[in-house]
Amino acid sequence: MKKGIALTIVVGMLLCGCSASQKNQTSSKTEISVQSEVSEESEVSKEESKLPEPESRDVFAMDTYMVLKAYGSNAQKALEEAEDEIKRLESIFSVKVPSSDISKINSTSGNPVTVNASTRTAIAKAIEVGDMTDGALDITVYPLVREWGFTTGDSQNEPNYKIPEQWLIDWHLGNVGYDKIVINDSIVTLPTQFEIDLGAVAKGYATDAVIEILEANKINSALINLGGNVYALGRKPDKSKWKVGIQNPKDTNKTICTLAIENKAVITSGNYERFFEVDGKRYCHIIDPKTGYPADNGIISATVIGDSGLDCDALSTALFVMGTEKAINFCKAHKDIDVILVTKDMKIYITDCLESIITMEDGLKYEVIKR
Ligand code: ADP
Ligand code: MG
């Protein structure tokens, strides 16, 4: 078994938020690593270093490091409010918090549970994206996520990764099916035995909530990174666009490319974020709801760029599960999102609109998905 490190790299300025989401490994201690400001500074040009210092906040929540950076006179107050909101969302979304909406739903499955508006919105979006992606996104896979040892919230503790016996996988698959979730206003009901987990959408939801708070505080320049879920608000104070680096899934200390971004979410699902390896085969934390096994359909990293963090988070997980061919076809049919797919053999596919804002690392090439 081998360990891996997940660094989320956001290149750009002193401001650039580089955080590392949790890692995945099988050693006795889970390491958590944050890329230092010093190494970022080496990327900073002389002109960029003239930027004013942003207001900044590091938050550990939703099992990952988050870095919030904002400019403007209200920045401190705005970031305080943003941190409070992230903590509130964690308290209602987390499967690890016994009083959360999700824990209540799971512990009383079969019975109706009244939930917060945010929970309702996140579940409704997950169902919608489940429909759009032929069930690639399915928040009822949680019992399988747990059976494989990928329970959200465990990065602080010793992971309990294991390959479950086939009969257990089959048994759990009998309790998977997002289309059986019933939502009526703020009341959610699951079939008995079913359990859900918002791991695939929670950080995307939180991304949008943070941006809403920053905008309400009249912040028009900010870069937030919720453990790999990035949103670039407005432009940098020098009026140039934010530079967001996309991690190389095979060498997570490097990037494959940089995007010049403004007012967009950039969200990646990868097989390097949480995984274990047995006999040279990698098992990652994203489960294919059709097989009950970790998704292994050709894609090792799927990045979605769009207006809504929630949509991008849901779709990046789904595209990862769908695999290369289905994901490319999905991109052709959905012109409102932009996507970067990296396959097992390091082929890089990008949607056409990205051509004007992407800078590849030396030696790397891409194929364009035309729409
Ligand atoms: P990350 O949270 O690491 O950024 P994702 O957004 O792709 O990555 O979400 C992965 C998480 O979603 C898993 O840790 C698990 O909790 C949950 N999950 C795994 N497979 C699926 C799936 N097919 N559909 C919905 N949720 C999933
Ligand atoms: Mg996701």
- Verdict on whether the full-model pTM lies above 0.75: yes
Separation between Cα atoms, residue 180 and residue 41, nearest integer Å: 50
List the structure tokens of 176: 């998977």
In three-state form (DSSP H/G/I as H, E/B as E, the rest C), the secondary structure along 29-89 is: CCCCCCCCHHHHHCCCCCCHHHCCCCEEEEEEECCEEEEEEEECCCHHHHHHHHHHHHHHH
Please choose from 152, 317, 322 the residue to mutate so as to test ligand 1's pocket, defined by most ligand atoms within 8 A of CB: 317
- Residue 50 CB neighbour total at 10 angstroms: 11
If you measure from the C-alpha of residue 316 to the centroid of ligand 1, how many angstroms do you get, rounded to a whole number?
A: 9
Q: C-alpha angle with apex 198: 116 to 22, nearest 5 degrees? A: 125
Task: Indicate which residue's Cα is closest to atom 15 of ligand 1.
Answer: 199
CA distances from 178 to 90, 94, 150, 288, 356 (A): 22, 18, 19, 13, 38
With tokens 């695999």, the residue in question is: 323
Cβ of residue 195 lying under 6 Å from some atom of ligand 1: no
- Residue 354 CB neighbour total at 10 angstroms: 18
In three-state form (DSSP H/G/I as H, E/B as E, the rest C), the secondary structure along 288-326 is: CCCCCCECCCCEEEEEEEECCHHHHHHHHHHHHHHCHHH
Separation between Cα atoms, residue 187 and residue 193, nearest integer Å: 18
Question: How confident is the model at residue 160, as a pLDDT?
Answer: 85
If you measure from the C-alpha of residue 27 to the centroid of ligand 2, how many angstroms do you get, rounded to a whole number?
A: 25
Please report the atom of ligand 1 found closest to the CA of residue 137: 24
- Distance from CA of residue 61 to its chain's centroid? 13
If you measure from the C-alpha of residue 289 to the centroid of ligand 1, how many angstroms do you get, rounded to a whole number?
A: 11
Question: How confident is the model at residue 151, as a pLDDT?
Answer: 81
Question: How confident is the model at residue 302, as a pLDDT?
Answer: 98
The 8-class DSSP code of residue 240 comes to P
Residue 267 pairs with which residues in a beta bridge? 229, 304
Q: Return the exposure string of 273-309: e unless at least 16 CB atoms fall within 10 Å of the residue's CB, then b.
A: bbbbbeeeebbbbbbbbeebebbbbbbbbbbbbbebb
Residue 268 pairs with which residues in a beta bridge? 303
Q: Which helix (H) or strand (E) holds 256?
A: strand 251-261
| Tens of pLDDT, residues 133-145 | 999 999 999 999 9
**Nearest to 340, CA basis, from 268, 288, 271, 233:** 268
Q: Is 367 strand, coil or helix?
A: strand
List the structure tokens of 156: 């602080």
Q: Return the exposure string of 89-106: e unless at least 16 CB atoms fall within 10 Å of the residue's CB, then b.
A: bbebbbbeeeebbbbbbb
DSSP β-ladder status, 55-61 and 221-226: unpaired
Q: Which helix (H) or strand (E) holds 261?
A: strand 251-261
Cβ of residue 317 lying under 6 Å from some atom of ligand 1: yes
Question: How confident is the model at residue 32, as a pLDDT?
Answer: 26
Cβ of residue 314 lying under 6 Å from some atom of ligand 1: no
How deeply is 8 buried, as exposed, middle or buried, from its count of CB atoms within 10 A (0-12, 13-18, 19+)?
Answer: buried
Cβ of residue 313 lying under 6 Å from some atom of ligand 1: yes
Q: In this structure, what are the phi and psi dihedrals at residue 227, rounded to the nearest 5 degrees? A: 55, 50
Write out residues in the chain with pLDDT < 70, as ranges.
Answer: 1-51, 152-158
Cβ of residue 309 lying under 6 Å from some atom of ligand 1: no
Cβ of residue 200 lying under 6 Å from some atom of ligand 1: yes
Separation between Cα atoms, residue 171 and residue 369, nearest integer Å: 39
Cβ of residue 199 lying under 6 Å from some atom of ligand 1: yes
CB 140 within 8 A of CB 259: no
Please report the atom of ligand 1 found closest to the CA of residue 151: 16
Cβ of residue 137 lying under 6 Å from some atom of ligand 1: yes
